[in-house]
Amino acid sequence: MRLLLLLAAMATYTAHAQWFPLWQHRFPAPDFLTGFGDVGTGLDLRNDSLLVGHSWMNASSTTLFDAPTGQLSWSESAGDTVFHQGGRAFFGGAVLGSERVAAANGIDVRTRLQMLDGTLLWSLGGGLSDVQFMAGPLVDAAADTACALAYAGNVLHGFRYDHSGAAGAWQNPQPLPWTGFNACLANDALLLTAMMDHPNSFSDVPRLMRLDPATGAVLWAHWLCDTTAFLVNAPAITVPWQGDTVLTAFTTYTGNVELRLTSGADGSVPWSFTDPLGFTPYLASVAAVPSEGRIYLALDNGTVMAYTAAGDRLWMDTLYTAAPYKAAMVLANQNRVVGISAQHQGLPQGQDFHLRTLDPQNGAVLAQAWVNDSVNTHDLLEDALLHEDRLYLLTAVTFDTLSILNESTTLMLSAFDLSGSTAIQVSDAPSIPIRAVITDGSIRPLMDPAVRRWMLRDVQGRLVADGNSTFVDAAYAKADAGRYILFGSDGGNRMLVKP
């Protein structure tokens, strides 16, 4: 082993502030390899309580955490086998969960209400056998009711709930097949955007409609684009804007981003905007900040774009991520814009997730973090939630093998403080000399035992390891020859040269 201190090594690594997680929670791994793996089914936050819907060994599960510390309050599992659709929400003094689950006669929707200590109050199935898609639970806090929607056999089913259980159900037969849908509540308006397999179109066509949540009756409906063309290339997304007005976004094969505001009252369109990009975008996520008049979109390659409600594009932060399983999301509030994207860093650890905080005014990258669950695995995006300065990210790690029967998936929840208290600042000036160490052996002697978390990156900025000293030391031992930067959560850093 050679260990040599260089006092005048020149730093060539340029980066933004690096974020360490406040805490991380790894959910238990399955006791056996199922060939499917565990999935996330929704996040919700109330005060200091973080609600997580997920599966464990494919069984429906709900876990409640203390959001500031990551301490587990309780976790409960039921017997239903969960498919990858569902949600969780606080509902008055209880928690509500709806999921697409396996049933004796096929695939059904099941909704459960639990007390805040995890005690089950009731559990209701929908009596369906072929649910293809679902949405919910959608909570109407003003009316103290909730609903779940399920599409099965060309029929949209609605289930209403109050705290005592079922509060009504309805069916709405559809004239055309659906390939997916999303739904939201805007005040008391239930707005739904369905991707329909139109016989005159070569691509799915989005249709926006308002339904009566009590009866399922369609109050108005509009096609969002030409029904005889080959246009929409990704599912349209509708989110609440102001009052009963909603924002809808979709992208086209002709290279356009389409935005429109629609009044929930009568379906009128006070504003619409077409942004020709010159390349083919694929919409992945939408975030709206009505108080600031801002709209943010994420494309599947990680690119984030910002628009005003007046129809101007403010900026575009362009990424072209390389990932076996593409996924991207944008989250925003009055002070923060966060872009999340899958990216393979070219290291033998599968794809990871790249988190970037962006300046709302110009899109400049302010800070970043990488979530890397395990070596030689792929990290998959399950869900994320932004509240003020806190970001909560739910990911799954899956082993990519030749046989699906030998694969399993384990979930991990990561919490970040974006206010600056957990950022590790890295100098952007390449001319500042820093201490460097040449070693092909253990770097444990270089890591202060009082510092609990370390990060190792190569000089291109790619994450090699993020964890305790033992984990990072083991990763360095396996790393190829080259130059690396070792960061400590105390703010220190050290350049390493591995011969």
* pLDDT of 15 over the 60 cut: no
Range of the domain at 490: 3-12+427-498
Domain endpoint, select from 424, 444, 476: 424
* Statement to judge: residues 360 and 460 lie in one domain: no
Identify the band that residue 36 occupies on the pLDDT scale cut at 50, 70 and 90. Answer: low
Given a contact cutoff of 8 angstroms between Cβ atoms, the answer to whether 374 and 321 are in contact is no
* Statement to judge: residues 371 and 440 lie in one domain: no
Which residues make Cβ contacts (< 8 Å) with residue 405, sequence separation at least 6?
33, 35
Per the listing, tokens 């509540």 go with 185
Predicted confidence at residue 7, as pLDDT, reads: 37
* Statement to judge: residues 298 and 435 lie in one domain: no
Given a contact cutoff of 8 angstroms between Cβ atoms, the answer to whether 349 and 474 are in contact is no
* Statement to judge: residues 277 and 351 lie in one domain: yes
Domain endpoint, select from 424, 450, 476: 424
* Statement to judge: residues 396 and 463 lie in one domain: no
The average confidence (pLDDT) of the chain is 85
- DSSP at 345: -
Whichever domain contains 470, its CATH number is 2.60.40
Q: What is the dihedral of CA 83, 103, 192, 147, to 10 degrees?
A: -110
Token reading at 300:
């599947």
* Statement to judge: residues 382 and 462 lie in one domain: no
- How many structural domains compose the chain? 2
Residue range 16-36: mean pLDDT, rounded? 73
Domain endpoint, select from 360, 392, 424: 424
Token reading at 236:
């349209």
* Statement to judge: residues 371 and 452 lie in one domain: no
CA-CA distance, 359 to 375, in Å (whole number)?
Answer: 32
* Statement to judge: residues 392 and 439 lie in one domain: no
Predicted confidence at residue 433, as pLDDT, reads: 37
Given a contact cutoff of 8 angstroms between Cβ atoms, the answer to whether 236 and 247 are in contact is no
Token reading at 411:
């979930």
* Statement to judge: residues 127 and 64 lie in one domain: yes
Q: How far does Cα 309 stand from its chain's mean position?
A: 24
Beta bridge partners of 388: none
* Statement to judge: residues 254 and 123 lie in one domain: yes
* pLDDT of 273 over the 80 cut: yes
Which residues make Cβ contacts (< 8 Å) with residue 43, sequence separation at least 6?
50, 51, 52, 53, 88, 383, 384, 385, 392, 394
Give 18's Cβ-side CA count (13 Å radius). Answer: 28
The pLDDT tens digits of the residues spanning 349-406 come to: 677 888 999 999 999 988 888 887 665 577 888 999 999 999 999 998 876 555 555 5
Residue range 108-131: mean pLDDT, rounded? 94
Given a contact cutoff of 8 angstroms between Cβ atoms, the answer to whether 184 and 239 are in contact is yes
Percentage of the chain beyond pLDDT 90 is: 49
Instruction: Give the lowest-confidence range in 44-48, 157-161, 372-376.
Output: 372-376
Residue 30: C-alpha distances to residues 37, 57, 76, 236 (Å): 8, 5, 15, 35
Cis peptide before 177 (omega within 30 of 0): no
Whichever domain contains 184, its CATH number is 2.130.10.10
* Statement to judge: residues 462 and 342 lie in one domain: no
Identify the band that residue 322 occupies on the pLDDT scale cut at 50, 70 and 90. Answer: confident
- DSSP at 292: G
* Statement to judge: residues 182 and 99 lie in one domain: yes
